[in-house]
Amino acid sequence: MTPRVASAAITDFQATFAAVRREIAKVVIGHERVVETILTAFFAGGHVLIEGVPGTGKTLIVRSLAEALNLSFNRIQFTVDLMPADITGTRIINEGVDGRREFVFVPGPVFAHLLLADEINRATPKTQSALLEAMAEQQVTAAGTSYPLAPPFFVLATLNPIEMEGTYQLPEAQLDRFLFKVLLEYPSQAELERIVSTTTSAELATVSPVLDREHAPARVEELKRLVRHVLVAPDVEGYVASLVRMTVPAAARGGDGAGAARGGRRAGAEEDVARYVAYGSSPRGGQALVLGAKVMALLDGRPHVTFEDIDRVALAALRHRVVLNFAAEAAGIDAAHVIEGVLAAARRLPA
Protein backbone atom coordinates (compact mmCIF):
# COMPACT_ATOMS: atom_id res chain seq x y z
CA MET A 1 0.00 0.00 0.00
CA THR A 2 1.61 3.20 -1.12
CA PRO A 3 1.53 6.20 1.15
CA ARG A 4 -0.96 7.91 -1.11
CA VAL A 5 -3.35 4.96 -1.09
CA ALA A 6 -2.99 4.48 2.62
CA SER A 7 -3.61 8.12 3.29
CA ALA A 8 -6.70 8.07 1.10
CA ALA A 9 -8.01 4.99 2.88
CA ILE A 10 -7.59 6.65 6.26
CA THR A 11 -9.33 9.75 5.04
CA ASP A 12 -12.17 7.65 3.70
CA PHE A 13 -12.49 5.89 7.03
CA GLN A 14 -12.62 9.19 8.85
CA ALA A 15 -15.25 10.49 6.47
CA THR A 16 -17.45 7.42 6.78
CA PHE A 17 -17.17 7.37 10.52
CA ALA A 18 -17.99 11.04 10.79
CA ALA A 19 -20.94 10.69 8.43
CA VAL A 20 -22.44 7.83 10.41
CA ARG A 21 -21.96 9.69 13.64
CA ARG A 22 -23.55 12.76 12.15
CA GLU A 23 -26.57 10.81 10.98
CA ILE A 24 -27.03 9.18 14.36
CA ALA A 25 -26.74 12.52 16.07
CA LYS A 26 -29.79 13.65 14.13
CA VAL A 27 -32.01 11.38 16.18
CA VAL A 28 -29.98 10.57 19.26
CA ILE A 29 -29.69 13.58 21.46
CA GLY A 30 -26.50 13.67 23.47
CA HIS A 31 -24.56 10.49 24.16
CA GLU A 32 -21.86 11.55 21.69
CA ARG A 33 -19.19 9.65 23.57
CA VAL A 34 -21.37 6.55 23.78
CA VAL A 35 -22.11 6.67 20.08
CA GLU A 36 -18.44 7.04 19.31
CA THR A 37 -17.59 4.05 21.52
CA ILE A 38 -20.26 1.93 19.89
CA LEU A 39 -19.05 2.88 16.43
CA THR A 40 -15.51 2.15 17.50
CA ALA A 41 -16.46 -1.32 18.63
CA PHE A 42 -18.42 -1.84 15.44
CA PHE A 43 -15.48 -1.02 13.18
CA ALA A 44 -13.12 -2.93 15.44
CA GLY A 45 -15.24 -6.03 14.87
CA GLY A 46 -16.50 -6.42 18.41
CA HIS A 47 -19.78 -6.32 20.26
CA VAL A 48 -21.00 -3.90 22.84
CA LEU A 49 -22.79 -4.28 26.14
CA ILE A 50 -24.77 -1.24 27.17
CA GLU A 51 -25.94 -0.70 30.67
CA GLY A 52 -28.58 1.92 31.14
CA VAL A 53 -31.98 2.58 32.54
CA PRO A 54 -34.96 2.10 30.21
CA GLY A 55 -35.82 4.92 27.91
CA THR A 56 -32.37 6.34 27.45
CA GLY A 57 -32.13 5.56 23.74
CA LYS A 58 -30.40 2.22 23.56
CA THR A 59 -32.64 0.84 20.86
CA LEU A 60 -32.66 4.10 19.02
CA ILE A 61 -28.91 4.20 18.83
CA VAL A 62 -28.64 0.73 17.32
CA ARG A 63 -31.53 1.27 14.96
CA SER A 64 -30.04 4.55 13.82
CA LEU A 65 -26.68 2.89 13.31
CA ALA A 66 -28.27 0.23 11.13
CA GLU A 67 -30.13 2.82 9.12
CA ALA A 68 -27.06 4.97 8.67
CA LEU A 69 -24.98 2.04 7.49
CA ASN A 70 -27.85 0.61 5.50
CA LEU A 71 -27.52 -2.77 7.18
CA SER A 72 -30.13 -5.22 8.35
CA PHE A 73 -31.27 -4.86 11.92
CA ASN A 74 -33.14 -7.09 14.39
CA ARG A 75 -34.17 -6.71 17.95
CA ILE A 76 -34.73 -9.42 20.52
CA GLN A 77 -36.37 -8.70 23.81
CA PHE A 78 -34.93 -11.24 26.18
CA THR A 79 -37.31 -12.77 28.63
CA VAL A 80 -37.19 -15.71 30.97
CA ASP A 81 -39.10 -17.94 28.63
CA LEU A 82 -37.05 -17.07 25.58
CA MET A 83 -35.58 -20.21 24.06
CA PRO A 84 -32.33 -20.54 22.11
CA ALA A 85 -34.24 -21.45 19.00
CA ASP A 86 -36.08 -18.20 19.30
CA ILE A 87 -32.76 -16.52 18.69
CA THR A 88 -30.90 -18.79 16.35
CA GLY A 89 -33.81 -20.17 14.36
CA THR A 90 -35.26 -23.60 14.15
CA ARG A 91 -35.93 -26.41 11.79
CA ILE A 92 -39.47 -26.89 10.79
CA ILE A 93 -41.15 -29.50 8.66
CA ASN A 94 -42.04 -27.95 5.39
CA GLU A 95 -44.29 -29.70 2.87
CA GLY A 96 -43.30 -29.09 -0.69
CA VAL A 97 -45.50 -28.71 -3.72
CA ASP A 98 -44.89 -32.35 -4.52
CA GLY A 99 -46.13 -33.32 -1.11
CA ARG A 100 -42.75 -34.25 0.22
CA ARG A 101 -41.98 -33.10 3.71
CA GLU A 102 -38.54 -31.98 4.71
CA PHE A 103 -36.87 -30.08 7.46
CA VAL A 104 -36.16 -26.53 6.60
CA PHE A 105 -34.09 -24.19 8.71
CA VAL A 106 -35.83 -20.95 9.48
CA PRO A 107 -33.24 -18.39 10.52
CA GLY A 108 -33.89 -16.62 13.75
CA PRO A 109 -33.48 -12.96 14.46
CA VAL A 110 -29.77 -13.43 15.00
CA PHE A 111 -29.39 -13.50 11.25
CA ALA A 112 -28.96 -9.81 10.80
CA HIS A 113 -26.06 -7.47 10.51
CA LEU A 114 -26.98 -5.56 13.62
CA LEU A 115 -28.76 -7.19 16.51
CA LEU A 116 -30.11 -5.55 19.60
CA ALA A 117 -30.33 -8.03 22.47
CA ASP A 118 -32.45 -6.07 24.85
CA GLU A 119 -32.13 -6.89 28.55
CA ILE A 120 -30.00 -9.92 27.89
CA ASN A 121 -29.80 -10.72 31.57
CA ARG A 122 -33.50 -11.62 31.70
CA ALA A 123 -32.99 -14.78 29.62
CA THR A 124 -31.77 -18.04 31.00
CA PRO A 125 -28.10 -18.86 30.69
CA LYS A 126 -28.91 -21.44 28.04
CA THR A 127 -30.50 -18.82 25.84
CA GLN A 128 -27.78 -16.35 26.56
CA SER A 129 -25.16 -18.84 25.54
CA ALA A 130 -26.91 -19.38 22.22
CA LEU A 131 -26.40 -15.74 21.43
CA LEU A 132 -22.91 -15.70 22.79
CA GLU A 133 -21.90 -18.56 20.53
CA ALA A 134 -23.14 -16.61 17.57
CA MET A 135 -21.16 -13.59 18.77
CA ALA A 136 -17.95 -15.52 19.17
CA GLU A 137 -18.10 -17.87 16.24
CA GLN A 138 -20.04 -15.75 13.79
CA GLN A 139 -22.16 -18.79 13.10
CA VAL A 140 -25.20 -20.64 14.42
CA THR A 141 -25.50 -24.36 14.90
CA ALA A 142 -28.91 -25.94 14.65
CA ALA A 143 -29.47 -29.68 14.60
CA GLY A 144 -25.85 -30.31 13.94
CA THR A 145 -25.64 -27.96 11.04
CA SER A 146 -23.72 -24.72 11.20
CA TYR A 147 -25.05 -21.67 9.50
CA PRO A 148 -22.62 -18.81 9.11
CA LEU A 149 -23.74 -15.33 9.85
CA ALA A 150 -23.30 -12.81 7.11
CA PRO A 151 -20.68 -10.23 7.96
CA PRO A 152 -20.71 -7.74 9.39
CA PHE A 153 -22.33 -9.09 12.52
CA PHE A 154 -22.68 -6.73 15.41
CA VAL A 155 -24.52 -7.36 18.65
CA LEU A 156 -25.49 -4.64 21.02
CA ALA A 157 -26.80 -6.13 24.23
CA THR A 158 -28.35 -4.11 26.98
CA LEU A 159 -28.48 -4.61 30.69
CA ASN A 160 -31.04 -3.03 32.90
CA PRO A 161 -29.41 -2.08 36.17
CA ILE A 162 -32.76 -1.90 37.96
CA GLU A 163 -35.39 -4.55 38.48
CA MET A 164 -32.69 -7.17 39.07
CA GLU A 165 -35.13 -9.64 40.56
CA GLY A 166 -35.55 -12.68 38.41
CA THR A 167 -32.60 -11.89 36.21
CA TYR A 168 -29.64 -14.05 35.31
CA GLN A 169 -26.40 -12.20 35.69
CA LEU A 170 -24.12 -12.82 32.75
CA PRO A 171 -21.19 -15.01 33.73
CA GLU A 172 -17.77 -13.46 33.43
CA ALA A 173 -16.82 -15.76 30.58
CA GLN A 174 -19.73 -14.44 28.58
CA LEU A 175 -19.10 -10.86 29.53
CA ASP A 176 -15.65 -11.30 28.12
CA ARG A 177 -17.13 -11.79 24.66
CA PHE A 178 -18.13 -8.17 24.49
CA LEU A 179 -15.43 -5.87 23.22
CA PHE A 180 -16.70 -2.85 25.14
CA LYS A 181 -19.14 -2.10 27.85
CA VAL A 182 -20.59 1.39 27.96
CA LEU A 183 -22.73 3.05 30.53
CA LEU A 184 -25.58 5.05 29.22
CA GLU A 185 -25.96 7.96 31.55
CA TYR A 186 -29.21 9.68 32.17
CA PRO A 187 -29.46 12.69 29.85
CA SER A 188 -28.68 16.10 31.19
CA GLN A 189 -31.23 18.88 31.56
CA ALA A 190 -30.38 20.45 28.22
CA GLU A 191 -30.32 17.09 26.45
CA LEU A 192 -33.63 16.16 27.96
CA GLU A 193 -35.17 19.40 26.74
CA ARG A 194 -33.89 18.71 23.25
CA ILE A 195 -35.17 15.13 23.37
CA VAL A 196 -38.61 16.31 24.38
CA SER A 197 -38.62 18.95 21.73
CA THR A 198 -37.30 16.79 18.91
CA THR A 199 -39.37 13.69 19.49
CA THR A 200 -42.69 15.42 19.94
CA SER A 201 -42.63 17.78 17.02
CA ALA A 202 -44.55 17.22 13.84
CA GLU A 203 -41.50 16.62 11.76
CA LEU A 204 -39.49 13.72 13.04
CA ALA A 205 -35.83 13.52 12.27
CA THR A 206 -34.80 10.65 10.07
CA VAL A 207 -31.49 8.99 9.43
CA SER A 208 -30.15 8.98 5.91
CA PRO A 209 -28.06 6.00 4.88
CA VAL A 210 -24.39 6.74 4.42
CA LEU A 211 -23.68 3.60 2.40
CA ASP A 212 -25.74 2.06 -0.35
CA ARG A 213 -27.52 -1.12 0.63
CA GLU A 214 -25.92 -3.35 -1.97
CA HIS A 215 -22.34 -2.56 -1.11
CA ALA A 216 -22.71 -1.66 2.53
CA PRO A 217 -21.64 -5.01 4.05
CA ALA A 218 -18.57 -5.25 1.85
CA ARG A 219 -17.75 -1.64 2.48
CA VAL A 220 -18.00 -2.10 6.23
CA GLU A 221 -15.81 -5.17 6.05
CA GLU A 222 -13.26 -3.25 4.06
CA LEU A 223 -13.17 -0.56 6.70
CA LYS A 224 -12.80 -3.17 9.40
CA ARG A 225 -9.85 -4.66 7.57
CA LEU A 226 -8.27 -1.26 7.34
CA VAL A 227 -8.44 -0.99 11.10
CA ARG A 228 -6.36 -4.12 11.42
CA HIS A 229 -3.58 -2.56 9.37
CA VAL A 230 -2.93 0.18 11.84
CA LEU A 231 0.59 -0.11 13.23
CA VAL A 232 1.30 -0.74 16.86
CA ALA A 233 4.77 -0.18 18.24
CA PRO A 234 6.24 -2.82 20.54
CA ASP A 235 6.35 -0.44 23.46
CA VAL A 236 2.64 0.26 23.07
CA GLU A 237 1.98 -3.44 23.05
CA GLY A 238 4.08 -3.71 26.17
CA TYR A 239 2.04 -0.97 27.74
CA VAL A 240 -1.16 -2.84 26.95
CA ALA A 241 0.24 -6.03 28.41
CA SER A 242 1.26 -4.25 31.63
CA LEU A 243 -2.13 -2.64 31.85
CA VAL A 244 -3.96 -5.93 31.53
CA ARG A 245 -1.62 -7.70 33.88
CA MET A 246 -1.95 -5.05 36.51
CA THR A 247 -5.67 -5.73 36.75
CA VAL A 248 -5.03 -9.31 37.79
CA PRO A 249 -5.07 -9.65 41.57
CA ALA A 250 -2.71 -12.61 41.58
CA ALA A 251 -0.10 -10.58 39.75
CA ALA A 252 -0.66 -7.62 42.02
CA ARG A 253 -0.59 -9.71 45.17
CA GLY A 254 2.10 -12.19 44.34
CA GLY A 255 4.21 -9.66 42.63
CA ASP A 256 7.83 -9.38 42.68
CA GLY A 257 7.69 -6.26 44.76
CA ALA A 258 8.44 -4.27 41.69
CA GLY A 259 5.46 -2.09 42.29
CA ALA A 260 6.69 -0.74 45.55
CA ALA A 261 10.13 -0.32 44.12
CA ARG A 262 8.87 1.64 41.17
CA GLY A 263 6.90 4.14 43.10
CA GLY A 264 3.97 4.77 45.34
CA ARG A 265 1.45 5.24 42.59
CA ARG A 266 1.94 1.78 41.23
CA ALA A 267 2.05 0.34 44.71
CA GLY A 268 -1.28 2.03 45.44
CA ALA A 269 -2.85 0.65 42.28
CA GLU A 270 -1.59 -2.83 43.06
CA GLU A 271 -2.98 -2.56 46.53
CA ASP A 272 -6.40 -1.58 45.19
CA VAL A 273 -6.39 -4.45 42.73
CA ALA A 274 -5.32 -6.94 45.36
CA ARG A 275 -7.95 -5.73 47.78
CA TYR A 276 -10.96 -5.11 45.59
CA VAL A 277 -10.63 -7.20 42.43
CA ALA A 278 -11.86 -10.77 42.32
CA TYR A 279 -10.91 -11.46 38.71
CA GLY A 280 -8.79 -9.37 36.43
CA SER A 281 -8.92 -8.88 32.73
CA SER A 282 -8.37 -11.76 30.37
CA PRO A 283 -6.06 -11.51 27.36
CA ARG A 284 -9.16 -10.56 25.40
CA GLY A 285 -8.98 -7.31 27.30
CA GLY A 286 -5.65 -6.59 25.69
CA GLN A 287 -7.04 -7.40 22.26
CA ALA A 288 -9.96 -5.07 22.90
CA LEU A 289 -7.60 -2.31 23.95
CA VAL A 290 -5.49 -2.58 20.83
CA LEU A 291 -8.39 -2.92 18.41
CA GLY A 292 -10.23 -0.01 19.94
CA ALA A 293 -7.04 2.05 19.92
CA LYS A 294 -6.52 1.30 16.25
CA VAL A 295 -9.88 2.77 15.42
CA MET A 296 -9.02 5.80 17.52
CA ALA A 297 -5.78 6.19 15.62
CA LEU A 298 -7.58 6.12 12.29
CA LEU A 299 -10.10 8.62 13.53
CA ASP A 300 -7.16 10.85 14.35
CA GLY A 301 -5.72 10.31 10.88
CA ARG A 302 -2.74 8.33 12.05
CA PRO A 303 -1.48 5.00 10.77
CA HIS A 304 -0.15 4.04 14.20
CA VAL A 305 -1.40 3.68 17.73
CA THR A 306 -0.23 5.84 20.59
CA PHE A 307 -0.45 5.45 24.33
CA GLU A 308 -3.23 8.00 24.39
CA ASP A 309 -5.33 5.87 22.07
CA ILE A 310 -5.03 3.00 24.53
CA ASP A 311 -6.01 5.25 27.39
CA ARG A 312 -9.07 6.49 25.54
CA VAL A 313 -10.58 3.03 25.18
CA ALA A 314 -9.26 1.49 28.38
CA LEU A 315 -12.31 2.09 30.51
CA ALA A 316 -14.76 0.70 27.97
CA ALA A 317 -12.53 -2.27 27.23
CA LEU A 318 -11.75 -3.26 30.81
CA ARG A 319 -14.77 -2.17 32.80
CA HIS A 320 -16.69 -5.45 32.43
CA ARG A 321 -13.58 -7.58 32.59
CA VAL A 322 -12.50 -6.41 36.02
CA VAL A 323 -14.79 -8.23 38.41
CA LEU A 324 -14.89 -6.71 41.85
CA ASN A 325 -15.37 -8.53 45.12
CA PHE A 326 -17.59 -7.85 48.11
CA ALA A 327 -14.98 -5.65 49.72
CA ALA A 328 -15.20 -3.28 46.81
CA GLU A 329 -18.96 -3.27 46.98
CA ALA A 330 -18.84 -2.55 50.68
CA ALA A 331 -16.35 0.21 50.18
CA GLY A 332 -18.32 1.70 47.30
CA ILE A 333 -15.49 1.09 44.86
CA ASP A 334 -16.42 0.55 41.23
CA ALA A 335 -14.42 -0.89 38.38
CA ALA A 336 -13.79 2.50 36.87
CA HIS A 337 -11.98 3.58 40.02
CA VAL A 338 -9.70 0.58 39.91
CA ILE A 339 -9.02 0.94 36.19
CA GLU A 340 -8.22 4.62 36.49
CA GLY A 341 -5.77 3.82 39.24
CA VAL A 342 -4.15 1.17 37.11
CA LEU A 343 -4.01 3.53 34.16
CA ALA A 344 -2.38 6.25 36.19
CA ALA A 345 0.18 3.79 37.51
CA ALA A 346 0.91 2.01 34.27
CA ARG A 347 0.90 5.03 32.01
CA ARG A 348 4.53 5.86 32.31
CA LEU A 349 5.96 2.54 33.24
CA PRO A 350 8.53 1.09 30.94
CA ALA A 351 7.05 -1.79 29.06
Partner 1 sequence: MPAVDPIERQIRHVRRRRNLHELQRGLFLLIATATGSAAALVLLALRASERLFAAATWSLVGAVVVTAAFLARELGRRWVARDRAAAWIDARARLRGRLTTLVALRARAAGAPHAALRERTERAPRAALPHPPELAFLPLLVEENRARLARWRPEHLVRRRVPLAALVAALAATSALLIAVLLAPRLRPSFPEIVYSDEPVAGAEADAARGATPDRVVVAPRREEAARRHGRNAETPVAGDGDGAGEDDSTLARVSSGLQDRIRRELWGREWERARDAMARAERDAARSARAGRAPGTHAGASGDDRTDSDDGWETAGLPSARHGGRRPSAFGAARTGRATDADDAEAAARGLGEDHDTTTVSSGSGEPAPGAGNETDPNLFGAPTELDPHGRDTFELAISAPVRAQRAGSRRATGEPPAADADGHPELARAAHTEHAIRRMPVPPAYEAIVREVFAHHDVAPDTHP
**Which residues bind to partner 1, rule: CB under 8 A?**
1-3, 6-7, 10, 229-236, 302-307
Distance CA 212, CA 123 (A): 35
Q: How far is the CB of 231 from partner 1 (least distance, A)?
A: 5
- What is the three-class DSSP state of 335? helix
Helix, strand, or coil here: 136? Answer: helix
Cross-strand pairs, 183? 51
Comparison of 231 and 278: residue with beta carbon closer to partner 1: 231
- For the stretch 245-248, contacts whose Cβ atoms lie closer than 8 Å and that sit 24 or more positions apart, written own/partner, are 245/280, 246/270, 246/273, 246/342, 246/345, 246/346, 247/273, 247/277, 247/280, 247/281, 247/285, 247/318, 247/321, 247/322, 247/338, 247/339, 247/342, 248/273, 248/277, 248/280, 248/281
Minimum distance of partner 1 from residue 239's CB (angstroms): 11
Pick the closer one to partner 1 by CB: 150 or 351: 351
Nearest 5°: CA angle at 199, between 194 and 202? 115
CB of 97 to partner 1, least distance (A): 50
- Smallest gap from Cβ 304 to partner 1, in A, equals 4
Which residue number, 253 or 348, has a Cβ lying nearer to partner 1?
A: 348
- Rounded to 5°, the CA angle 232-233-234 comes to 120
The angle, 0 to 180 degrees and rounded to 10, between the axes of the packed helices 335-346 and 264-276 is 150
**CA-angle at 120, arms to 115 and 122, nearest 5°:** 145
| Of residues 161 and 301, the one with the C-beta less far from partner 1 | 301
Tell me the closest approach of the beta carbon of residue 311 to partner 1, in angstroms. 13
Nearer to partner 1, 163 or 308 (CB): 308
- Residue closer to partner 1, measured from CB, 72 or 306: 306
Q: Smallest distance from the beta carbon of 262 to partner 1, in angstroms? A: 16
Question: Least distance from C-beta 1 to partner 1, angstroms?
Answer: 4
Which value, in Å, is the radius of gyration of the alpha carbons in the chain?
22
- For partner 1, the closer CB: 166 or 234: 234
